[in-house]
Structure 1
Amino acid sequence: MISLRRTPLSEPLSKSRALQVLVIGAGSIGRRHAANLAALGAHVEVTDPVPARAAAIASTTPRRFDLDDLGDPDAIVIASPTQFHALHLRAALATGARILVEKPLALPDDDLDGLVAAGQGRVMVGYNLRLHEPLVRLVDSIEQGRAGEVVAARLWFGSWLPDWRPRVDYRDTYSARRDLGGGVLLDAIHELDEAVWLWGHDLEVIGAFVDRVGPLEIDVEDTVHAILRTATGVPIDVALDYLSRRYRRGVEVVGAEATIRYDWSTTDLTIESAGGVECCNIDTPIAESYEREADRFVQFVIDGTPPPVDATEGAESVRLAARILHAGAHRTKSDR
């Protein structure tokens, strides 16, 4: 079972100085990581190709963007667009720092094997939902046998892309752009990581549909439907989209003894069995999972405590995405 106990910043590497952290990327996720690590007492520098963005983050120090000179930090956070994860990770690995890479680890066509080999013992991948209380409790219930023998499962995510960042033109975001590694398959890769978390690395893709079918002005897929099969033959249905007008997300596991479901729209964790229905409302703010992630990263940096997702585990969701793309004979309207 994963502990959700919050811990203060552990003893710094020395009592004379704070943990030195460099954040690469000053977008929304970079700002979040910088703020959480600064709140834990770390000294945080931020670097970004647009200097003004780095300079605008409170409680941090801007640094000139130069991948050949990242300084000598204890830790590096890679919070750049997905397209640049592999490049920035290689630059970070050239330092002596331990590294947090925002999900996904890299693109499907990057050298995943090489990144995993180079990152052994030094890389944590930012799948904060592995520390989100309702999902931890769902996984615990399944591992404790509450569902009985699992016979089917489904994972779903849908949200209207223009509503994600209302103050920004969605067409300019990395989500909408192929050249920045966008598309709902990688954007919603948390759902693939949940499948890896629950059923391991041996997930076969039986079939998939990956395409752009809606009215959004984007050059990436807005819809994914995939059927997976576990090593024991359990079918898993995955549905992801940028088109649902109301936010929808969840995971459901059907077992011989019970069906266990977490629905993000209601924040209800439900266990339905012959004996009745147990329902527990868990509305833990998602921000807490990022705070726990910061705690776990600090522990990893200071004493090597294994992270929730290391490079080996983090590569599996990307490999699964690659198999889905292949099965879906990926194309978009702009390719036709």
Structure 2
Amino acid sequence: MRALVRGTGSIGARHLRVLESMGVDELYAWPVRKGTGSTERADIPSRTVFVDTYPNAPLDLIIIATDTVRHVDDALGAVEQNPRSVLLEKPVAPTVQQCRPLLDHPRASIVSVSAPLRFHDGYVELAQLLEQEGTPTSAQIVSQSWLPSWRPGRDYRQSYSARSDEGGALRDLVHDIDYPLALLGTPDTVVARLGRGVLGIEAEESADLLWHSSGKEHPLAVSVRLDYVSPVKKREIRIATAHSALSWNVVTNSVIVERPGSVPELSVHPGDGDVDNVLARQSGTLLQRVGVVVDGLRHEYNAASLQAGVLAVAVCDAARLSDRTRRGETVVL
């Protein structure tokens, strides 16, 4: 196996470590900032070959882990190398309009968007339960954390998260928009209110969304709370059906099924608590899809397509527009 990671920030470095643990034979890193070598980075595998262009050898996987504003250009450059697969970190781009050149590329089908929550066994169990328990009637999603603790030792006000053109709670927490879309379907309209003023950054610090969709059998209302102004982390979804309530807690890696008159059923997935393990499932699924044999993967793991990643960006676009217009907005791709 041969893989390259474009971008060597904290996420890029983690991808490199994960790929090494998976036994990738040849590992390349292409930093955005020149002069970053392996001797300077203890968090990058020592056998990584640093490059300043794509190698001549064919690549099985290219991972794009650069700043959001660079994603589309860097992904286009990767696709032109004709690798077997490309994994693009979230979000695809700051807006749907900026996604268009990548969507329109003739080889766009080889691009997947990083969505590690889809590779949690808790998510797989929830998806299976949802099929068994019937049509959902409502859902509530919460994702709360504390931005100053995200990157210890670095001023969060100087990070991309603080910038309104590529950061903010909507884009940073887009994973928590992606997986509800995968479970519950595309909204018809989105109403949103964005919050600022706690952290002193120009981007939104919180977002409250209410979206409606026609649903399979009846209308479905979904509420979403995203913020990084909460020192106590919370990340979960609760879905009501006509027969039960289903909950997935990402912090405790647990799924709970509640039915009237019955004792709640609890299952725990400790392997989901290892971020590297989850990322290995994601990269392994992409490699397996193009013919590389990877052991230990569940067939239920399903990577997010480029189109799915753009849909999540479209919901973010609709939310920002709704906050400005103070009315419900449609999701436009």
Shorter-chain TM-score range:
0.7 to 0.9
Which of 228, 253, 257 is equivalent to 2:243? 257
Aligned to 2:7: 25
Aligned to 2:144: 158
Distance 1:110 1:70 in 2: 31
Aligned to 2:110: 122
Aligned to 2:188: 204
CA change 1:302–1:322 in 2 (3 A) is: same
Aligned to 1:90: 76
Which of 272, 282, 287 is equivalent to 1:298? 287
Task: Give 1:165 deviation, angstroms.
Answer: 1.7
**Contact 1:205/1:324 (<8 A) preserved:** no
The residue identity in structure 2 corresponding to 1:264 is V
Instruction: Show structure 1 runs of 5+ residues with no match.
Output: 1-18, 332-336
1:53-64 matched pairs, under 5 angstroms: 53-55=36-38, 56=41, 57-58=44-45, 59-64=47-52
1:1-336 matched pairs, under 5 angstroms: 19-42=1-24, 43-55=26-38, 56=41, 57-58=44-45, 59-64=47-52, 66=53, 71-74=56-59, 75-97=61-83, 98-118=85-105, 119-145=107-133, 148-179=134-165, 181-200=166-185, 202-214=186-198, 216-232=199-215, 233-276=219-262, 277-284=264-271, 285-287=273-275, 288-302=277-291, 308-329=303-324
Task: Give 1:93 deviation, angstroms.
Answer: 1.8
**Contact 2:208/2:223 (<8 A) preserved:** yes
Task: Give 1:39 deviation, angstroms.
Answer: 2.4
- Length, aligned pairs only: 305
**Contact 2:96/2:313 (<8 A) preserved:** no
Distance 1:268 1:129 in 2: 13
Which has the higher mean CA deviation after the structures are superposed, 257-266 or 305-314?
305-314
Distance 2:265 2:204 in 1: 37
Q: Deviations over 1:52-101 (max 9, x none)?
A: 4453222311112x5xx564541311001111101111111221112110
TM-score by length of 2: 0.84
Aligned to 2:329: none
Aligned to 2:330: none
Secondary structure of 2:201 counterpart: coil
Distance 1:330 1:221 in 2: 16
The residue identity in structure 2 corresponding to 1:205 is T
Distance 1:109 1:141 in 2: 32
Distance 1:32 1:250 in 2: 24
Give the fraction of aligned pairs with identical amino acids, expressed as a percent: 27
Distance 1:156 1:162 in 2: 19
The residue identity in structure 2 corresponding to 1:49 is V
Over the aligned positions, Cα root-mean-square deviation in angstroms equals 2.3
Instruction: Show structure 2 runs of 5+ residues with no match.
Output: 294-298, 327-333
CA change 1:298–1:230 in 2 (3 A) is: same
**Contact 1:78/1:85 (<8 A) preserved:** yes
Distance 2:141 2:68 in 1: 23
Secondary structure of 1:51 counterpart: coil
Aligned to 1:9: none
Task: Give 1:25 deviation, angstroms.
Answer: 0.5
Distance 1:131 1:265 in 2: 15
Secondary structure of 1:140 counterpart: helix
TM-score by length of 1: 0.84
Distance 2:68 2:315 in 1: 16
